Structure 1
């Protein structure tokens, strides 16, 4: 979704990059202003196309845009999952194993941070093994040289040293069209420090020692539509984790993260409030991964990410049998999208509006043979799948997007 109101094009940052990795924990640096987008190649905002960052690389090299594709993790049908598509640039045929290792480290790092850890079942992971005729990409010391790499990745994008960009149209061609939403993640064969997020392609240097922490930050822009919380970021409050008003005004007017004020921060470092950065914009907590690499997402950011996931993924895969009229006494089954950990989506069953208890501990199926139906009488059996996480406090959104009910009609 675009920042601010849906359908409104708001100028902000195309991608937000990082200062030298020599300072740990690293603080983030800002790129030059450009359209900020939070969708992948098949996202739901067709009126906000982001142009490719570069078209200087030889067009004929990328004209076909095909490469071996491997599904390395599949949690469900792509139509109801978000597919993370990992592509490499500057990896020769002999370096494909290096790309595979670096790609695995990247997506594992992403799934190590909440809320992605708990909601990893919402993602399929695919790897596209793009073979480059040359090793490496255009780095800082040779940024005037443009190697003939398939994705055209290079540092010094838009005049910013650590901003790592790719030809988005070429990357999309290699990724291909998916059955459902996709986010494209391009890894450069480089050990240099940098990356980008929030546009059609999230980028990082696959060989950087900080690659895992970089993707945790950059994907916050891309998936959660989050803004940067560090002091040197632009004074743009048009993101769910940034505000132009203090806590008192939030509480009085019920704007931004007012419903989180006073909650304990996930990192144990204080409570959610309104912390003023030197650029004049307020952030929810003293620190977070959107401010300092290696941190955690604060509660308003977690909620924003989860809500974006549910804008793309239904809490339930198609039931068995399909909803509607059914004959006989079938076993009715729902298929909630699985969470990682002990908490799962809640399932409640009703017969003509009256709650009934299913036969299994996970509550995912109901044996209709146990229902006493009078001959010739029809009943409606419904199952409701609901995400009850306390990481979301927007109950209207929970009712609209995080809850789904299916109904079957049985005749006695």
Structure 2
């Protein structure tokens, strides 16, 4: 069933009622799509990338953001928001005197997210923005209010849909207070509460900012929101319409090239064995014995990492900019590309060619080429290309790598 389908949502909510009986705690969530603005490809690229259509919810939220936004602070900026995913952190139930508390809890939340792969390596693909929403009273609605509207700016409350640990927010109010962004963004709402709970996969990811498990909760919930991942615990709904869940066992996946068939037999990143097809009590198969989508504090398994990276690359381009403007070039200027940065000593691969023939890199990071030494005859035209490619072994879908994770920039020089 497609993301956002009401039947899928109902099954997710039904499963949440069973979470309290689970042996290991797992964060609670709603299933559904998150809104994103589209990014246009850089001028001069040879790879054509169609922007995904905006949902009706995203269009409404964009209009709401145009008025009434709260004060914001850019607490981490890695690049132009037009080619970054901005994590927008808002607080609910924090009074004017508690804004420092919200700031500390917001910092703890996004840092916890950037402490887990693949977000750690790809943290340069994200900007972080804090929105200072002042509540007239401290705290949020923690008790079952039987449908009464909470009195805080974001309307955050536990007992959403009758489930104690399901923490919901007013998505329209949250979008309006977040303000319009110039690129794709995820809205993350922190409640001024020490209770355990959260939600992910909807237009607003939520967590209790004061919970001792807040860092682990956001790691789990963002898996829903960014990667469209499903829950892998035994009491989750038996809905396999997620990249990390399957109704088919290992033999059928390998035979028919289904789901995570490319990863079968690969070593799990948490050292817990190999990727296979592990059957949960609900009858649905998961890729590994355990993961952060099954038990808080774990790691994303390899199929889930790939799913997250694919969603990220659907929203950002691997190249920020190029100089001079790709296309016809006058003279022999230095040619430069600016790939998005990776952390941990990694970088996107850059290969240079002239008329299809490889060129020796002239810079340590391979980001520029000086064509002054090219032996061109008067009137001779050559094409110099820079191919920027993410070669990470966390992606095994080579067709996706070619389409979304590879960018070719071309210049035409005349002798």
Distance 2:347 2:130 in 1: 28
Equivalent of 1:188 in 164, 188, 191: 191
Residue 369 (structure 1) aligns with: 372
Distance 2:20 2:340 in 1: 38
Q: Which stretch shifts more, 254-263 or 171-180?
A: 171-180
TM-score of the two chains, using structure 2 as the length reference: 0.90
Q: Which stretch shifts more, 174-183 or 397-406?
A: 174-183
Match status 1:115 vs 2:118: yes
Residue 311 (structure 1) aligns with: 314
Q: Secondary structure of 1:49's partner?
A: helix
Distance 1:168 1:368 in 2: 52
Equivalent of 1:11 in 7, 10, 15: 7
Q: Secondary structure of 1:135's partner?
A: coil
Residue 262 (structure 2) aligns with: 259
Residue 335 (structure 2) aligns with: 332
Distance 2:314 2:120 in 1: 18
Question: 1:157 and 1:51, CA in 2 relative to 1: closer, same or farther beyond 3 A?
Answer: farther
Q: How far off its partner does 1:46 sit?
A: 3.0
Q: Does the Cα contact within 8 Å between 1:224 and 1:305 map onto a contact in 2?
A: yes
Distance 1:342 1:309 in 2: 20
Equivalent of 1:49 in 33, 52, 57: 57
Q: Does the Cα contact within 8 Å between 2:385 and 2:409 map onto a contact in 1?
A: yes
CA-to-aligned-CA distance 1:301-330 (integer Å, 9 cap, x gap): 000000000000111112111101111110
RMSD: 2.6
Q: How far off its partner does 1:42 sit?
A: 3.9
Question: 1:88 and 1:155, CA in 2 relative to 1: closer, same or farther beyond 3 A?
Answer: same
Distance 2:404 2:148 in 1: 48
The answer for unaligned runs of 5 or more in structure 2 is: 39-51
Q: Does the Cα contact within 8 Å between 2:37 and 2:183 map onto a contact in 1?
A: yes
Distance 2:175 2:333 in 1: 44
Equivalent of 2:410 in 402, 407, 410: 407
Match status 1:268 vs 2:268: no
The answer for unaligned runs of 5 or more in structure 1 is: 53-61
Distance 1:410 1:264 in 2: 47
Q: How far off its partner does 1:142 sit?
A: 6.4
- After superposition, residues 390-401 of structure 1 pair within 5 angstroms as 390-401=393-404
Residue 42 (structure 2) aligns with: none
Q: How far off its partner does 1:18 sit?
A: 10
Q: How far off its partner does 1:27 sit?
A: 2.6
Task: Flag the structure with more relative contact order, 1 or 2, with Cα contacts below 8 A and sequence separation at least 6.
Answer: 2
Residue 299 (structure 2) aligns with: 296
Distance 2:310 2:66 in 1: 37
CA-to-aligned-CA distance 1:95-115 (integer Å, 9 cap, x gap): 000000000000000000000
Distance 1:275 1:203 in 2: 29
Q: How far off its partner does 1:394 sit?
A: 0.2
Q: How far off its partner does 1:341 sit?
A: 1.2
CA-to-aligned-CA distance 1:166-209 (integer Å, 9 cap, x gap): 00000000111211111000000100100000000000000000
Match status 1:240 vs 2:248: no
Q: How far off its partner does 1:378 sit?
A: 1.2
Q: Does the Cα contact within 8 Å between 1:41 and 1:184 map onto a contact in 2?
A: no
Q: Secondary structure of 1:300's partner?
A: helix
CA-to-aligned-CA distance 1:353-383 (integer Å, 9 cap, x gap): 1100121110000011122222221111000
TM-score of the two chains, using structure 1 as the length reference: 0.90
Distance 1:67 1:285 in 2: 42
Residue 151 (structure 2) aligns with: 148
Distance 2:214 2:340 in 1: 29
Match status 1:91 vs 2:89: no
